[in-house]
Structure 1
Amino acid sequence: MVFAAALAGLFLIGCRSHDFPQYPANYREFAYVTNGGSDTVSVFDVVNIRLDRQIQVGQDPTGITANPKRNEVYVVNSGNGSSNGSVSVIDTEKNAVVATIPVHRKPYFLDVSPDGHLAYVANSGSNSVSVIDLDSRREIEVVGVGEAPGLVRVTPDDRSLIVTNRLGNSISILETTASAPPQLRKVIPGCPGATDVAILPDSSKAFVACSSGHQIMAIALAQAADSNHPSRPDQLEAMLDVGRSPVHLALKPDGGELFVSNFDSNSISEIVTSTDDVGGSYLMGSNPVRGLVTPDNALLFESDFSSQDISLYSIDDGKRIAPATGGFSIHVGDGPDALAFSSTGNLLFAVDARSGDVAVIRTSSQSLFTLLPTGRQPNAIALKSFRL
């Protein structure tokens, strides 16, 4: 055992000079994974690639999001269904819960405003969105939306909230201003099982996955008049046919193309965002559930939930490709789902929902580096980097 540990240490040191950046002494980066079956969050040290600790949070934690402006992450605790849920605030410098904020029934996901002052929580069991003041750490407003809101997203310009109403088969668009609480601006029906949202970097358009069907909804978002353009309201722009059960949308960082995970078609669809054209569909592994595009816009990593694999799709070549190390995909744990890159992009973390671990993949060699244990039923991941 001592020999094996020493050999593993030499392997890590040998790899670090080639595949891992050199971090300054005061640099910290952590990955946070919610464990719905353990009521915990697993904290992973990204610099040293190890499990740092388990943090006890509320009941049935689901969504998790990092604050872009302060060293905090927020965990949505969905509760048992009959009682209200809550949001746990984790101080990433201490890696400890420093506050718990009550919300409403069955919250699942949240998003944070670009300035880091507000959080928005979709309360699925209460048909509402909670507005949280992150400075005072309390709920300040509750806004009614459609039936069973599952996801809320803030536009990059901080002017709109896009809410997907899963059972209401609709989208609620809320207006956000600094001087007033969010106001309902538009409801767009006709999206069965509305789930995921992708918003273009310039906030001009949103795409919504209608997961109970086979379409993506393209929505042109309201814009005020300027010297170059007249004003325009929110409006449905197109319904795009893709594969069966589109469950996730992966947008290129440059916003030019969107990749749809078609769960029941074992495929991805490629959408040109400027023209709303479906460029084509491509077979992946079994039940693709989540995609993530590399920062250079060149490669899509795709979680194949029932294949225990991560598939690779070359955007430039327009086809699925084999990993650099051989084979047809990167073999990971059971039920790969949520994905996240490290801040430098050298590592990809894949949450394996069934086997209860996180696969750490080296993006340069497209190979599995290690598996790290989580709690029971891991489901979501967020990363936060900072300097002390």
Structure 2
Amino acid sequence: MRFVVEGRSQAEVARVYGVSKGWVSKLVARYRDEGEAAFEPRSRRPNTSPTAITAETAELIVRLRKHLSDQGLDASPDTIAWHLRLLRMVEEVDLAVGAIGAEAPVHLVQPGAHLFHQTGRRKPRRWAVDLDGDRRTHHRQRVRKLACRIPGRGASRRTTRPVSVDQRRSPMCTRWRRNPVVNGRPELSGRRHGREGRSRVRSLVAAAAIAAGLAPLMAVPAPAVAAAQVREFAYVANRGSDNVSVIDATNNTFVTNIALPGADQPLAVAITPDGTRAYVTNFGTNNVSVINTTNNTFVTNIALPGAVGPFGIAITPDGTRAYVANQGSSNNVSVINITNNTFVTNIALPGAVGPSGIAITPDGTRAYVTNEFNQVENQVSVINTTNNTFVTNIDLQNATDLFGIAITPDGTRVYTANSTSHNVSVINTANNTFVTNIALQNATTPEGVAITPDGTRAYVANFGSSNVSVINITNNSFVSNIGLQNAIQPFAIAINRDGTRAFTANSGSNNSSVINTTNNTFVTTLALPGAAGPLGIAIGEVPVVQKIRKRNVAKSSTSSKQEAGGIVKSRNENFGGVVATSNPGKIDKKLHDVDTLVQHILDHPAITKALNAAGTHG
């Protein structure tokens, strides 16, 4: 205004207001064309953004990232591009891959928002590229730098100065992927060969199935199933109700009860190292029940010929065999092949009476068995698990009615809970000799014992005094007792994988108590509805396939009222992925016939077009 009205020079006005002469010149030109409107705030954003992704694609990216992250699955740009490609959005995949950098938080991926901001620490002020507005900005606004090799400046030289859209889309840009990615690897340019071609066809088969309405939800890559979320669960064997209770050890809540058909008086439980199976001993029916922990269902019963009164059970660290201590008249140990759930053999224990508890060394070479009714010698039997033979009996001093047993993580010592002598015995595994007894103060009838993963403490469940004793393993001394509220007759105890909590099976009150082992305090007591006489407990990390919520996935054209369901895998060789369905049990009815389905998919126009483009090798 002053330049025009007062006749001042541009340099003088720029000096007075502290701006550049070029900016003053631009304002004057605007004022002459637009009048007072020239001074109104205006956006620097261009009228069009040809390289921007659509609002629908941005919304889908948000949903995909949130859904995959909630399931504990990979949500990297490559994975999301894989999903987008299934929805036949190939023309936008390249842009989406660059737009949703792995560091970009979900809340920033919104239609019209800057998709390239980082949440990292502050960086030096450098000029960079804003891909959303195609304008210069600096790292003080935390915009992702786009490093490009500029032709004519040397193959190894990079620049962070502003680049044009053409340069940005150039293959010289090191942070810009022009080729779609299949199965985590960039596709070959031109004709697709070998695995890349087959993977592409499989992806399009899945996309056609979705488009045709044959699969109600979005296809998921097979590797994503292997990365299923893992949670800790406690399994409690209930002698009186002939079932197994499940507790979510992560949030201390009761989950369900699992009925055991053909089983009577389940006493103890052990979980495989991979967390997929639980094995339960049944005292009354002389067999072992198998549970699928991924869906908490009964699988089968394994008969134990020549075994009477199976009680304690332990599984080898490699997950191939289970060893069962038979407390009845057989006085032996049964061996089970876990890979096919079959009985292998019985191992006689000379001089042993009433084998009850059993534990296996961390290297899987030996098993130690407590003999509860061997009142004279008070022995622990040793088994060589490499050839399933009896090794020796270890005599304990001043210890009676041995029951619970645990081995330190380093495998050097064994601890037994002695119910009528009210103490805990220690054994040296290097030479299989008795070391000492640890007296328990104000504790009666210790039955169960468990050791923390770091090997520093042992926790003992006291059946008679309804409390838990703590032992310092480094010096084999009694530490303290932990009182349990609303708990009667704790019989067994187990500790979770990180050693922060202990869970007890309370046979007299039909519940389970939780202890905080970091400060040795009582946390809570969990009711077990439908359970009677809980005696055994084990904790394992169980792989869980989360249900897919309808709001997080693409809707099916066949139905809009389907509930969340599981994930099932196709058995047909032409379909290499998996399909999420509202009800896995109805997948066969929905597809009718796999051959018909595949043929229908291959006849789809999208597949035909892809095959023609791929050529003979595709």
TM-score (norm 1): 0.66
- Whether contact under 8 Å (1:304, 1:311) holds in the other structure is no
Give the superposition deviation at 1:377.
Answer: 4.0
**1:205 lines up with 2:413 in the alignment:** yes
**1:239 lines up with 2:445 in the alignment:** no
**Residue 365 of structure 2: aligned partner:** 159
Q: Distance in 2 between the 1:387 and 1:304 partners?
A: 27
Q: Distance in 2 between the 1:263 and 1:38 partners?
A: 20
- Whether contact under 8 Å (2:499, 2:517) holds in the other structure is no
**Residue 349 of structure 2: aligned partner:** 144
Note closer, same or farther for the CA distance 1:74–1:331 as it changes in structure 2 (3 Å cut).
closer
**Residue 131 of structure 1: aligned partner:** 335
User: 1:299-318 to 2 correspondence within 5 Å?
Assistant: 310=513, 312=515, 315-316=518-519
The one of 174, 185, 194 aligned to 2:392: 185
**Residue 536 of structure 2: aligned partner:** 380
Q: Between 139-148 and 121-130, report the one with greater CA deviation.
A: 139-148
Could you list the per-position Cα deviations for residues 185-232 of structure 1 after superposition, in whole angstroms to 9, with x for gaps in the alignment? 23324421101112110100011111111211011112xxxxxxxxxx
Q: Distance in 2 between the 1:62 and 1:263 partners?
A: 15
Give the superposition deviation at 1:257.
Answer: 1.4
Which protein has the bigger helix share?
2
Q: Between 274-283 and 297-306, report the one with greater CA deviation.
A: 297-306
**Residue 110 of structure 1: aligned partner:** 313
Give the superposition deviation at 1:49.
Answer: 6.8
**Residue 86 of structure 1: aligned partner:** 287
SS, match of residue 388 in structure 2:
strand
Amino acid at match of 2:395: I
Q: Distance in 2 between the 1:244 and 1:235 partners?
A: 25
Q: Percent identity?
A: 25
Could you list the per-position Cα deviations for residues 56-98 of structure 1 after superposition, in whole angstroms to 9, with x for gaps in the alignment? 2422222222221473322212126xxxx11223344573424
SS, match of residue 400 in structure 2:
coil
**Residue 256 of structure 2: aligned partner:** 51
Q: Distance in 2 between the 1:58 and 1:309 partners?
A: 22
Q: Distance in 2 between the 1:134 and 1:119 partners?
A: 7
Could you list the per-position Cα deviations for residues 116-141 of structure 1 after superposition, in whole angstroms to 9, with x for gaps in the alignment? 11111111111111122233512323
SS, match of residue 58 in structure 1:
coil
Q: Distance in 2 between the 1:311 and 1:217 partners?
A: 25
**1:273 lines up with 2:481 in the alignment:** no
**Residue 116 of structure 2: aligned partner:** none
**Residue 97 of structure 1: aligned partner:** 299
Which of these two proteins has the greater Rg computed from alpha carbons? 2
Q: Distance in 1 between the 2:275 and 2:438 partners?
A: 38
Q: Distance in 2 between the 1:53 and 1:303 partners?
A: 16
- Whether contact under 8 Å (2:268, 2:536) holds in the other structure is yes
Give the superposition deviation at 1:314.
Answer: 5.8
Q: Distance in 1 between the 2:235 and 2:471 partners?
A: 31
Gaps of 5+ in 1: 1-20, 223-232, 324-329, 334-356, 358-372
Could you list the per-position Cα deviations for residues 273-318 of structure 1 after superposition, in whole angstroms to 9, with x for gaps in the alignment? 12222234455556562545565545556667667784646644xx
Give the superposition deviation at 1:259.
Answer: 2.4
Note closer, same or farther for the CA distance 1:331–1:267 as it changes in structure 2 (3 Å cut).
closer
Alignment length (residue pairs): 307
Q: Distance in 1 between the 2:496 and 2:234 partners?
A: 18
Note closer, same or farther for the CA distance 1:73–1:384 as it changes in structure 2 (3 Å cut).
farther
**Residue 227 of structure 1: aligned partner:** none
TM-score (norm 2): 0.44
Q: Distance in 2 between the 1:53 and 1:244 partners?
A: 32
Q: Distance in 2 between the 1:262 and 1:99 partners?
A: 31
Note closer, same or farther for the CA distance 1:117–1:189 as it changes in structure 2 (3 Å cut).
same
Q: Distance in 2 between the 1:149 and 1:78 partners?
A: 12
Q: Distance in 1 between the 2:501 and 2:235 partners?
A: 24
Could you list the per-position Cα deviations for residues 254-280 of structure 1 after superposition, in whole angstroms to 9, with x for gaps in the alignment? 111112233334544332212222234
Q: Distance in 2 between the 1:130 and 1:284 partners?
A: 35
Note closer, same or farther for the CA distance 1:252–1:70 as it changes in structure 2 (3 Å cut).
closer
Amino acid at match of 2:308: R
Q: Distance in 1 between the 2:497 and 2:338 partners?
A: 29
Note closer, same or farther for the CA distance 1:210–1:102 as it changes in structure 2 (3 Å cut).
same
Amino acid at match of 2:362: P
Give the superposition deviation at 1:384.
Answer: 5.5
Cα RMSD for the two superposed structures: 3.6
Note closer, same or farther for the CA distance 1:120–1:264 as it changes in structure 2 (3 Å cut).
same
Amino acid at match of 2:359: R
Note closer, same or farther for the CA distance 1:235–1:312 as it changes in structure 2 (3 Å cut).
same
SS, match of residue 173 in structure 1:
strand
**Residue 323 of structure 2: aligned partner:** 120
